Amino acid sequence: MAKPGPRTTYRYSREFKATAVRLSQLPGVAVGDVAESLYIHPFMLSLWRKQAREGLIEEGRGGRQRSGGGAQGAAGKARRPTSS
C-alpha cells in the first residue's frame, strides 16, 4: 500500500548524473550494482545513460542541486539528496 501524503521527488545535479553514468560504464560493472550503491532506481540510471548518449548529460556543465548529497567519489558512497 502506498504511503499517504504527497510524493517525494528528488532532483539530481548534472554532475551526479554524469558520475553515475561514468561509473556504470566501467568494464565489468552492472547498472543495477551502480544504481543500488547510489540509492537510485536502475531504470533512472538507464534513462540517464540514454540521455548521456544523446548528449543531454555532460560532465562539467554545472547544475544546481536542490539540497545536500551528490556524488561523493568513485567508491559508490554517494547519498541521495534529501527532499525540501
Task: Determine the pLDDT at residue 6.
Answer: 83
- C-alpha cell belonging to residue 42: 536502475
- Structurally, how many domains does the chain consist of? 1
- Compute the Cα dihedral for 9, 15, 21, 24 and give only its sign: negative
Asked if the structure places residue 44 within a domain, the reply is: yes
Range of the domain at 21: 14-53
What are the pLDDT digits (tens) for 11-61? 999 999 999 999 999 999 999 999 999 999 999 999 999 999 999 988 654
Answer whether 0.95 is exceeded by the pTM: no
Residue 6 lies in a domain: no
- Identify which of 36, 27, 25, 44 has the alpha carbon closest to the alpha carbon of residue 78: 36
Contacts of residue 38, Cβ cutoff 8 Å, sequence gap at least 6: 20, 23, 45, 76, 78, 80
